[in-house]
Every structure is written in structure tokens, then in C-alpha cells.
């Protein structure tokens, strides 16, 4: 009788130990599955399978306007950008959301985000048209390159030469900025190929021109 009771107790302990072991394995498996799931969610959050334009507008808050018809934010050269329209490349920083008097105000440092469909082999001529005259040069930047927008004899027009190798190759998002400490009203930004430019001009870290802050006259 006592032997049977002891055997039953041993069997009960064995069953309990087996159940505990099974429960531990199940919990470990669930934790492992949940960990893998959350790692996958984090990966998708860091590397979402969305367009360049979607990421720039919704995720990184880089662009001012959402334009689904421009998923790659591709800027072809030559191009003329009318600042009174909702240009998809406009940065969220610096620009007024609403255009006024046939121009858009750039209140502080701001510019454009864009990609280039192909590798450029020619230097780029940049023309910025303003609503009012500006006699002071403006510092500009394209990725790691720095240059100067210079006023011309033509009223309300500034120009600059950008070396083609200032652009990042591939599908990378280019970042172009204009430095200003006071509002300037911009009507157009035009990109064209520089006539007579050396095709193999090398990139320079900066120019030696005047880098004093812009003052709108």
C-alpha cells in the first residue's frame, strides 16, 4: 500500500516536472518568436519599402510638399523651377508654405532635395531670379560642395557654377541649400549646362569669394 502511494507520488512529481519543462520551452519559444517579430518591425521602420519622396516628406520631414507624381524626386537638367508652384523638391526648412506676389519667400537657410536620373558629365549653371534686387552674394551648398551665388548686371538675377562632381552618384538624395539671414523672394531657380565649362573641373571644398551674410536690399 505504502509502495503504491510512493509510486504515485513519484509519478505525480515526474508529470509536474515534465509539465514545467514543457511550459518553459513554450515560453522560451514564444519569447524568441516575439523578439524576431519586433526585430523585423524595427528593421522595417528603419528601412521602409517606400518611395524616396514618401520617405523625405513623411518620415524624415525634409520636403515641404507631398507630390505622389514625383516618387523619386528626379530633377532633370536643364530644368526651370517656378517657385509659385508646389515644387516637390522644396525643403521644409527655410521656405514659406504659401507663395505670394509671384514669388516664394526664403526666410532662412533652405533649398532643395532631389535626385538626378543619370550621372552628369558637364558643369551646371545655376540661375536664381528674385523679385527685388540683391547686391550681396549668397553662399550655397550642394552636398559637400560650397560655392557662391553672385549678383549679375541683369536685374534681380544671381548665378553660380556648380561642378558636376558635386552631385552624389546613384539614387542618393541630393541636398542643395542657399544661406540667407534675411528673407528673399525667389521667383525661379534654373539649372542648365554651363556653356564652355571644363568637363573635368574638380570639386573644391569652398570658394574664396566673400562669405559675408546676405543682406536683402
DSSP string, 85-143: S--TTBBTTTB-SS-BTTBEEE-SSEEEEEB-SS---S-EEEEEEESS---S-EEEEET
Domain that holds residue 133: 52-193
The total domain count for the chain is 2
Instruction: Evaluate whether residue 164 is within a structural domain.
Output: yes
Is there a single domain that holds both residue 18 and residue 56? no
Is there a single domain that holds both residue 71 and residue 168? yes
pLDDT value of position 211: 37
What's phi and psi for 132, nearest 5 deg? -130, 155
Is there a single domain that holds both residue 29 and residue 134? no
Is there a single domain that holds both residue 171 and residue 74? yes
Is there a single domain that holds both residue 164 and residue 100? yes
CATH number at residue 77: 2.60.120
Is there a single domain that holds both residue 42 and residue 56? no
pLDDT value of position 203: 37
Is there a single domain that holds both residue 77 and residue 137? yes
Burial bucket for residue 159 (CB in 10 Å: 0-12, 13-18, 19+): middle
pLDDT value of position 118: 85
pLDDT value of position 78: 92
Is there a single domain that holds both residue 42 and residue 58? no
Is there a single domain that holds both residue 105 and residue 136? yes
Instruction: Evaluate whether residue 72 is within a structural domain.
Output: yes
Q: What is the full per-residue pLDDT of the chain (217 aa) written as tens digits? A: 555 555 555 555 566 666 777 888 888 888 888 888 877 667 666 666 788 999 999 999 999 999 888 999 999 989 999 999 999 999 999 999 999 989 999 999 999 999 998 888 899 999 999 998 888 899 999 999 999 999 998 889 999 999 999 998 778 899 999 999 899 999 999 999 977 544 333 333 333 334 333 333 3
Helices vs strands, H then E, count in the chain: 2, 9
Instruction: Evaluate whether residue 32 is within a structural domain.
Output: yes
Is there a single domain that holds both residue 72 and residue 131? yes
Whether this model's pTM surpasses 0.75: no
d(CA 173, CA 45): 19
CA–CA distance from 98 to each of 66, 85, 123, 127, 145 (Å)? 14, 9, 32, 22, 29
pLDDT value of position 45: 63
pLDDT value of position 213: 36
Is there a single domain that holds both residue 122 and residue 19? no
pLDDT value of position 58: 92
Instruction: Evaluate whether residue 93 is within a structural domain.
Output: yes
Instruction: Evaluate whether residue 81 is within a structural domain.
Output: yes
Instruction: Evaluate whether residue 176 is within a structural domain.
Output: yes
Instruction: Evaluate whether residue 205 is within a structural domain.
Output: no
Is there a single domain that holds both residue 75 and residue 140? yes
| Secondary structure (H, E, C), 166-204 | HCCCCCCCEEEEECCCCCEEEEEEEEEECCCCCCCCCCC
Amino acid at each position: 500500500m505504502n509502495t503504491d502511494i510512493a509510486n504515485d507520488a513519484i509519478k505525480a512529481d515526474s508529470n509536474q516536472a515534465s509539465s514545467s519543462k514543457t511550459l518553459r520551452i513554450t515560453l522560451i519559444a514564444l519569447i524568441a518568436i516575439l523578439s524576431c517579430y519586433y526585430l523585423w518591425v524595427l528593421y522595417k521602420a528603419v528601412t521602409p519599402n517606400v518611395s524616396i519622396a514618401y520617405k523625405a516628406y513623411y518620415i524624415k520631414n525634409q520636403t515641404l510638399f507631398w507630390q505622389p507624381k514625383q516618387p523619386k524626386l528626379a530633377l532633370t537638367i536643364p530644368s526651370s523651377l517656378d517657385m509659385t508652384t508646389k515644387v516637390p523638391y522644396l525643403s521644409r526648412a527655410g521656405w514659406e508654405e504659401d507663395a505670394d506676389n509671384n514669388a516664394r519667400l526664403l526666410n532662412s537657410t533652405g533649398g532643395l532635395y532631389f535626385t538626378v536620373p543619370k550621372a552628369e558629365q558637364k558643369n551646371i549653371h545655376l540661375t536664381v531670379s528674385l523679385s527685388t534686387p540683391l547686391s550681396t552674394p549668397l553662399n550655397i551648398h550642394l552636398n559637400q560642395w560650397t560655392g557662391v551665388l553672385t549678383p549679375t548686371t541683369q536685374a534681380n538675377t544671381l548665378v553660380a557654377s556648380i561642378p558636376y562632381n558635386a552631385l552624389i552618384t546613384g539614387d542618393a538624395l541630393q541636398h542643395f541649400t542657399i544661406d540667407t539671414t534675411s528673407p528673399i523672394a525667389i521667383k525661379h531657380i534654373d539649372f542648365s549646362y554651363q556653356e564652355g565649362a571644363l568637363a573635368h573641373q574638380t570639386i573644391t571644398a569652398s570658394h574664396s569669394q566673400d562669405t559675408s551674410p546676405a543682406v536683402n536690399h
